[in-house]
Structure 1
């Protein structure tokens, strides 16, 4: 109800996609950094990824909360000036408060969720369930699937070509891999 009242569905979806994408790309960067330096250590990859995802989560929550709150309060104050009345105890003000917190939570949790999913193969390698080489392969495949899925989701929202949008996101992830391999050759 509150999301519809403020027409906030679009911004919440954008926060989820953009920050999920950031989480995936951060893990991909950590994996490629490990590869480039010839120090592929699953504990480092998991630890660095979790540390980065926590930092992105806190940054995302605070940044989104403060930004959304400021924008939404401005809208309320503009409306109050137009209506010559206070909206402090209104359903609209409640909606602003709830949607602001919801946006901040989505902004915080999306990169953490996608980072943790992306790094799971390395958790299995730490537990000696799979080999490090297999963890690397599964992580790259998993990241590729996640990136393609985010693109496909955007295509469905905009009623565009799923394959095209999926490939846009996938190519962006593969670009990090190509740059990583190129740097590894140079170093």
Structure 2
């Protein structure tokens, strides 16, 4: 059983190398986590603007938005990647004059599409956890609601900075510069949402 599990892991690792899915999955993860973070920042500050004071309501709305993004991210990425991998497979088959169906390359392509979809679908769950934790503490009586709103918003903005810094590291453009760019996007979103409250 152990040998079978090790073989499975080796095959998956080989598939990642063959298809460059690691880079694609990383890009999907960052992109959808960034989108999810901004969406949940909207949920938190929008709830505050609407004078919602029940932490459970905020958590449920955050879960609803996050899960919708997860399903959308998974299905959208899977359909797109599956189509792209099928196109690549057909191009290779035409170049080789050989049917690659049921080969290791075809299986690697299918695995790549699935892995990219899973990563894209799972990334908003991180944003859900970050946004919801302060409100969970409020439910436990460990934090007041207004403090939870502030803590949640700050946590999301910090997450945006980390994502920006990570993208800066990957691109070689600088951690701080890209982190600040992401921070400004989060700050602009927060400002617009707070302006809605003043209407």
Note the C-alpha offset of 1:133.
Answer: 1.9
1:87 is paired with a residue whose SS is: coil
Shift of the 60–113 alpha-carbon distance from structure 1 to 2, 3 Å rule, reads same
2:188 equivalent in structure 1: 175
1:80 equivalent in structure 2: 93
Q: Which among 46, 55, 71 is matched to residue 68 of structure 2?
A: 55
Alignment of 1:134-173 (within 5 A): 134-173=147-186
1:92 equivalent in structure 2: 105
Structure 1 residue runs of 5 or longer lacking an equivalent are none
In structure 1, what is the Cα distance between the partners aligned to 2:53 and 2:30? 28
Matched-pair contact (CA < 8 Å) for 1:8–1:99: yes
Runs of 4+ in 1 over 6 A off after TM superposition: none
* CA displacement 1:129-158 (0-9 Å, x = unmatched): 211122112112211210000001101111
* CA displacement 1:73-112 (0-9 Å, x = unmatched): 1110111011110111222111111111100100100012
2:102 is paired with a residue whose SS is: coil
TM-score normalised by the chain length of structure 1: 0.95
Matched-pair contact (CA < 8 Å) for 1:20–1:111: yes
1:26 equivalent in structure 2: 39
Q: Which moved more, 1:146-155 or 1:128-137?
A: 128-137
Structure 2 residue runs of 5 or longer lacking an equivalent are 1-13
In structure 2, what is the Cα distance between the partners aligned to 1:59 and 1:137? 28
How many residue pairs get aligned? The number is 186
In structure 2, what is the Cα distance between the partners aligned to 1:139 and 1:87? 50
